[in-house]
Chain A
Amino acid sequence: MVTEEQIEHVSKLMKIDIDDHKEYVDKVQTMIDYFDVLDSADVESEEISMQEITISNLREDKYVPFNEKLIDKLNNYKGTYVRAPKMS
């Protein structure tokens, strides 16, 4: 059973404010508790696999500048910087 504290801890980690607390936590708990079914899947010995690609199919090392001045299209501060909040 997932505890309320655990969910609160993770919400901080994920930078998510929880509003209507009780309903929220309940739902998340229900969802995670459903995952307990994985315990009976008996997959401990299973190998993990993934798609593969050969090195020669990777991008060639070439400098190609982006065709527009991208910063103009983003939030900018005095035209060139991206502004972040104060770092404590």
Chain B
Amino acid sequence: MNLKISALEFVQQVQNGNISAEDFVAKTLERIQSIDDKLHAFLFVNEKAIDQARDIDKKIKSGSKVGACFGMPISIKDNMCIKDSKTTCASKMLENFVAPYDATVITKLKEQDAVFVGKVNLDEFAMGLTTEFSAFGSSKNPWNTEYVPGGSSGGSAVSVSAFECVASLGSDTGGSVRNPASFCSVVGYKPTYGLISRYGLISYSNSIEQIGPLTRTVKDTAFMLNIISGLDPNDNTTIDNKNEDYLSGIDSGIEGKKIGIIQEMVGEGTDPTVLSATKDAISKLENLGATCEDVSLDMVKYSVAAYYTIAATEAGSNLARYDNLRYGYDFSVEGYEFNSYIAKARRNFGPEVKRRMIIGGFVPSAGHAGKYFLKAIKVKSKLTREINEAFKKFDLLIAPTVPILPFKIGEKINDPVSLFLIDINTVTANLTGKPSISVPFTISNGLPIGIQLLADSMNDKLLLQAAYALEQTITLQEVPI
């Protein structure tokens, strides 16, 4: 059986009776079994996946109504709650936490008969861009297992790239879906802020992050978006997309569209290989009838500092609840005084999370908020104004997803500021709430390069049309695993 098919192909083949959901899921689990030791995408596998697929097959055979996923095996980043299953955030702190409820995206996927094959790896609490900060060990890039897969949704990208599932859900706080998608040569999507409910997504920096699909094709992303997007009463920040169908008209093309090339993202610090790939992408888009022009977003220079300031502040607050009193790991309060107990219990956080929480305590504190936090949110506001201005002139913006190629595991882990700068092209979409996609574009010396497109808020459909157009111009190499 061919596991290397897209989500839409999977649906079609199950519908046609060419394959059964059970067989496909079983084969998928076998593949996980055989290759995941090398890749470490999965933190744990759903033992009931085959049974669930079999039940869906029965529904199909009996002619009863079947959801749009037809038993499609999907992996879920382990910072989203699935009822009665472990949700660890790749942290020792939540090693034993069993979620008592489903995230909204999980509810929606269950309704459409998706099968969750397992929970996948991430940097602890999604803080990182390599998965090296996972408390359970780094994932490996399937294109070259000595290299990082990107992060924080590294497990998602690896599992899709290495055919350990058909699609995956990740979360994108500063590029956490797009970055690993670029590094692993899959499609990664960060929707307009509020398009997908965050209910059940364990917050890292809640004012800027979104859940997003990682898939093999742009159409698959549109398919996933159709299922998981929309207003949710459980999340006051969701917006009404009027049940937009992102698949219909996806092949509308981009003739006549104006595309701005973000100057601050193609300059100094961009790897020449990445730069030439970007230029190549631009000329391909021009060949399709789009016009491309330079545009400057001055605030991008400050965006990484603003992003880390805001993210750390929110993280410091969001992660305060992990005091080990109501849930957590086995560590008795007996004999401890409150402050010393909490500090002891919180030793189970990994070093990067601790660092970011200390930063998150510092930058908004009474004496320092004016210098750091307040300035950061003002940069966010100004950057939003700038990009809104740009979207008056352009339909889309373009930049490389990541300024550099994937790097080796361990290469940058001790250099926080150089890690910061890898986020420079992705954080703008988070700070401004705009939708953004990473499309796999080329492979250079065996390492993938992704191209990023951005659109204005709620123009997700247009963005997917453009990404689809770009995707059609390229033939991708198959992953060597």
User: Nearest chain A CB to B114's CB is how many angstroms away?
Assistant: 22
Q: Is the interface of A mostly helix, strand, loop or mixed?
A: mixed
Q: For chain A, give the interface size range.
A: 35 or more
A32 and B180 CA atoms in complex are apart in Å by: 26
B299 and A41 contacting across the interface, CB-CB below 8 Å: yes
Interface centre among A11, A31, A85, A86 (most CB of B within 10 A): A85
Contact of B362 among A32, A85, A87 (CB under 8 A): A32
User: Nearest chain A CB to B474's CB is how many angstroms away?
Assistant: 36
A16 and B339 CA atoms in complex are apart in Å by: 10
**Is A58 among interface residues, defined by CB-CB distance under 8 A?**
yes
Size of chain B's interface in residues, with CB distance under 8 A? Answer: 60
Number of A-B contacts (CB under 8 A): 148
A33 and B346 CA atoms in complex are apart in Å by: 25
A32 and B417 contacting across the interface, CB-CB below 8 Å: no
A24 and B355 contacting across the interface, CB-CB below 8 Å: yes
When distances are taken between beta carbons in the complex, the residues of chain A under 8 Å from B341 are 85
When distances are taken between beta carbons in the complex, the residues of chain B under 8 Å from A46 are 378-379, 381-382
A68 and B416 contacting across the interface, CB-CB below 8 Å: no
B301 and A14 contacting across the interface, CB-CB below 8 Å: no
A60 and B75 CA atoms in complex are apart in Å by: 35
Contact of B98 among A43, A58, A73 (CB under 8 A): A73
Contact of B361 among A11, A85, A86 (CB under 8 A): A11
**Is B354 among interface residues, defined by CB-CB distance under 8 A?**
yes
**Is A1 among interface residues, defined by CB-CB distance under 8 A?**
no
**Is B246 among interface residues, defined by CB-CB distance under 8 A?**
no
Query: Which of B13-21, B151-159, B326-334 lies at the interface with chain A?
Result: B326-334
A35 and B346 CA atoms in complex are apart in Å by: 26
A–B complex contacts, Cβ < 8 Å, 27 sampled: A10-B365, A14-B316, A14-B357, A14-B358, A15-B339, A16-B349, A16-B357, A18-B358, A24-B351, A27-B416, A31-B359, A32-B363, A34-B420, A35-B305, A35-B376, A37-B305, A38-B309, A41-B375, A44-B378, A47-B381, A51-B433, A73-B100, A74-B326, A75-B325, A86-B337, A86-B338, A87-B337
